[in-house]
Amino acid sequence: MSEPGSLLRSLSGRVAARNFHSHVINEIGIGVISGRFPIGTTLPNDAALIDEFGVSRTVLREALKTLEAKGLLEARPKVGTKVAKKSRWNLFDPQVLAWHLSAPPDEEFLRGLAETRQALEPLAAGHAAERRTADNLRLMHYWIRQMEMSLDQPLNFCLADFELHRIVADASHNPFMRALYGVIELSHAFAYQRAVAEPRDGELQPFVHLHRDLVHAIERGKAADAQAAMLGLIDFEAEFAAAG
């Protein structure tokens, strides 16, 4: 499983897979999401995939099992391994989400990503205002400072931004909110990929002000204000991404 933040770190250049197993998973996973392996089609046979990736049959079979567990593939006796319908894909799996960054734009997917955040992250922020601990607040202020110190380093800035959102989700003390980590990280990757590649002076400063407003609302215990601040942040991030 990918570590939180690894997708954002890859914005500075594609990160090499750690071993043959993860390499095969990544390449076939991206192939499915991007349409190289179209939905409903059967993957090339084992011999062809072994030749393409230069791995053993054992490594290949384990990689295919992992992708089947993520809902992207389904093995059928006497037929082979087929690409599953989108309705079977586990879109809360961080890797499955991350592979969408390498795929052609999918308007339905992007709309769903935004709607999921708009529905759940403000709720998490409201709960954080009611349930946050002193340690949660300390970490929120720490990541605000990291954002302020990284205004001329977009990659570090977006990592700090993401970490702050993770702390807010944790401060809601709802364990199911952790399932949002992948959704939040991918949204940040879409928003910041241009800024990391082509930095512009002063463009990140508004993010600091908006995040500070969010943290202050949580610190004061104002649930409604925290929800509104989070929703405003999500909307601004979407506008920033669209402006390119």
pLDDT of residue 243: 87
60 and 149 housed in the same domain: no
Q: What is the pLDDT of residues 52-76, one digit of tens each?
A: 999 999 999 999 999 999 999 999 8
124 and 215 housed in the same domain: yes
Using CB atoms within 10 Å of the CB of residue 48, give its burial: 0 to 12 exposed, 13 to 18 middle, 19+ buried: exposed
**Least confidently predicted of 8-22, 105-119, 147-161:** 8-22
- Token pair for residue 11? 């914005």
**What does the alpha-carbon distance between residue 205 and residue 202 come to, in Å, rounded to a whole number?**
6
High-pLDDT (> 90) share of the chain, %? 87
pLDDT class of 175 with cuts at 50, 70, 90: very high
**Least confidently predicted of 12-16, 107-111, 156-160, 216-220:** 12-16
Q: What mean pLDDT is predicted for residues 35-57?
A: 96
Contact between 168 and 124 under an 8 Å Cβ cutoff? The reply is yes
147 and 220 housed in the same domain: yes
Q: What mean pLDDT is predicted for residues 134-140?
A: 98
- Token pair for residue 241? 């991404």
Q: Is the pLDDT of residue 150 over 60?
A: yes
**What does the alpha-carbon distance between residue 35 and residue 105 come to, in Å, rounded to a whole number?**
12
Q: Is the pLDDT of residue 12 over 90?
A: no
pLDDT of residue 4: 85
81 and 152 housed in the same domain: no
224 and 135 housed in the same domain: yes
pLDDT of residue 77: 86
* Domain end call among 32, 60, 88: 88
Average pLDDT, the chain: 94
**For the chain, how long is the longest CA-to-CA vector?**
62
pLDDT of residue 1: 46
Q: Is the pLDDT of residue 244 over 90?
A: no
**Least confidently predicted of 7-21, 120-134, 136-150:** 7-21
User: Which domain does 231 fall in, by range?
Assistant: 105-243
CATH code, 11? 1.10.10.10
Residue 2 φ/ψ, nearest 5 degrees: -70, 145
Query: Model pTM?
Result: 0.90
Q: Is the pLDDT of residue 180 over 80?
A: yes
Contact between 55 and 72 under an 8 Å Cβ cutoff? The reply is no
- Token pair for residue 120? 């759940």
20 and 119 housed in the same domain: no
139 and 231 housed in the same domain: yes
pLDDT class of 13 with cuts at 50, 70, 90: confident
* Domain end call among 33, 58, 88: 88
Contact between 103 and 34 under an 8 Å Cβ cutoff? The reply is yes
**210-229 b/e (C-beta count within 10 Å ≥ 16 → b):** bbbbbbbbbbeebbebbbbb
76 and 126 housed in the same domain: no
Q: What is the pLDDT of residues 102-115, one digit of tens each?
A: 888 889 999 999 99
- Token pair for residue 18? 């750690």
**What does the alpha-carbon distance between residue 133 and residue 147 come to, in Å, rounded to a whole number?**
21
Instruction: Give me the residues paired with residue 73 across strands.
Output: 83
Please indicate, yes or no, if residue 94 is contained in any of the structural domains.
no
